[in-house]
Chains A and B, each alone.
Chain A
Amino acid sequence: MQRYVYTARRFLWVIVGVVALLLISGTAAAYGEYVGTFESSATIWVQRNSQDLLQTHAVQTDVPSVPDFLTPGSEYAESFTQLVQTQAFLRSTIERTSLDGALAASKDQLSFLDDIRKRFKIQALGTNLVKVSYRADAPQVAYEMVAAALTIRDERAASAQIAAASMTSTLYTKELDLAQQKSTRAQADLDQFNSTHKPPLDAAEAYRQQQLRTSSDVAQARVDDLRQALDRQAVVSTLLEVGQSADVQVIDAPQVQLQPSGGLRQAVLVFGVVMAGAVTLVAILIVLGTLLTASIASEADLERLGSVTVVASVPDLARRGAPDLADSLAALVFSSMAKPVLVGDQPGASEVAS
């Protein structure tokens, strides 16, 4: 260890220089990161429909018997985070901002999108609150990105809902067509029977006519039911759309932040990385310096120097907990010394006490 300390002392100014250089550059980089970062954020209130209140998320728990309840906020944040992972979502978002041209001009669009992705931050602030923020070099861009991301997300949710509703409507419509065909056919059969069989009808004919009338009534009832279901579906879709807009509300809309914000963490990270690099560099310097400048570890090493005589070895008293040897020696020799002849005294004017 001592030789490392010696090397550190020997290269002290180099180490100080390296550390100072990295300290200055790290501070400058961190400061630049801090003052050049503008964050815009939106706070969103999310409320789940009552039937989904106890939705569990078993995938995220190691203990099957203890379900991990997802709050509306965390569910929304998770789905938003997943959206941000997709290139399509990011591209759609960027297309609505002033970064559109930059993306188009970028040679490596994947890296560009990756950088955009890292600048998004989605946090569940509580059971129902979600914060979506974006860090950018310009205040306007940060605002645009958050606003566009929220818009795209809402549009996607709405279009998915419409698609689901339209699927149900299509199913009902097809069934209605079929039911109408059946009803028409039953009515036609009944009409044909009535035209070919004039009263009075015998028992068998009356029974047949009753069957045909029942079939026609049942087919018509089915048609009526399906029409009602279609109407209900339209109403439910409208209600769900209204309900969804009430479930996700942007409490704090994104704004253009003219003051630097959101860059503190990155600045600390940059500074920390640079300082860690400085420590590593200094450690490497000391280790290499020590290895390249071999020193003496024992009398045997001294004797390997060649034609030398090792007179003595003075033990390392300091490591045995003894006080400083130089101080002890000075106290033994120089305490209570006689007054000497000082410079400026006339030679011979003052005798040395003996």
Chain B
Amino acid sequence: MNSAAVMAVFEAVSARAHVDAAAPRTVAMTSAIRREGTSSIAVGTALSLAAFDAASKVLLVDANWIHPSLTEQAGLSVARGLAECLRDGYALERAIVPTARRGLSFLPAGQSGDEAPPLGGLAALLANARHDFVKIVIDLPPVMVAPSLVVPWADVADQTYLVVRRGATPVNVIRKAMTEIGKERPLLILNRSRERSDFWTRAG
């Protein structure tokens, strides 16, 4: 699959992040339960955002300490990252690594250890990141698995998307997840849709 085809899949999500009246700069992605495809959608959205405007710098953050799949795929399992920035005050610019895509950088999860890093400094960290990056896409763990690792991010992010996998996520779990996130009008992304391809591009 070529890059254009991959990014085309996520144009709807990135377009919304661009043209939304609220002009969100920080977009968090979570799901109700595991294996919903959140990480893939986060990467795709970040890619699409980076391609949308060549001048825009986009940061992809792996905040999923439960299962840091993006960090593992990047081969950065032992690298310093978000956890060190929050816990040890490690310099953000040192933890961020550029990716193979122009304009897209990546902040690995870091070593969370037995206890989750303190999330009190999230707002400051994001404010710091906003200096260098126009858009920030955050990959979060499932909200029903680790709500304590999701809700603080949802509070500081401009928008929080709940990824729902077609035919898999139970409806009652989706409702509980929306309640946990606590937004008045939750933003949902339907993953693995079987509807016509021109249907999903209507969003935004």
Contact = CB atoms under 8 A, between A and B. Distances in A.
A203 interface: no
A171 interface: no
Nearest to A352: B97
A309 B190 CA distance: 11
A343 B101 CA distance: 25
Interface string B152-168: 00000000010011111
A3 B39 CA distance: 21
Contacts of A325: 1, 6, 9, 37, 40, 44
A13 to B, nearest CB: 15
Interface string B115-150: 000000000000000000000000000000000000
Contact of A337 (B13, B37, B97, B161): B97
Given A313-B193, A314-B192, A342-B80, A333 B40 contact: no
A316 B3 contact: no
B178 A328 contact: no
B79 A333 contact: no
A334 B72 CA distance: 10
B78 A343 contact: yes
A335 to B, nearest CB: 5
Contacts of A294: 170-172
B82 interface: no
A337 B100 contact: yes
Nearest to B97: A340
A350 to B, nearest CB: 9
Contact of A340 (B41, B76, B199): B76
A3 B108 contact: no
A342 B111 CA distance: 10
Contacts of B44: 314, 325, 329
A308 interface: yes
Chain B facing A: main interface SS: mixed
Interface stretch (A38-46, A112-120, A262-270, A295-303): A295-303
Interface string B31-61: 0000101011101101100000000000010
A295 B36 CA distance: 13
A308 B106 CA distance: 30
Contact of A314 (B37, B47, B185): B37
Given A308-B178, A313-B195, A330 B43 contact: yes
Interface string A45-83: 000000000000000000000000000000000000000
Contact of A293 (B70, B165, B172, B201): B172
A343 B73 contact: no
Contacts of B73: 326, 330, 334
B204 A341 contact: no
B187 A311 contact: yes
Given A309-B188, A326-B39, A337 B74 contact: yes
A162 to B, nearest CB: 79
26 contacts: A2-B166, A6-B167, A295-B170, A296-B171, A299-B195, A302-B190, A307-B184, A310-B203, A311-B187, A312-B189, A314-B190, A315-B192, A315-B195, A316-B192, A316-B194, A322-B1, A323-B1, A332-B3, A332-B101, A333-B47, A336-B100, A338-B97, A340-B79, A341-B94, A352-B97, A354-B98
Interface of A: 1-3, 6, 9, 293-299, 301-302, 305, 307-319, 322-323, 325-326, 328-330, 332-338, 340-345, 347-348, 351-354
Given A313-B200, A314-B191, A325-B6, 9 more contacts: A296-B169, A308-B185, A314-B9, A314-B10, A325-B1, A329-B43, A333-B99, A338-B98, A343-B80
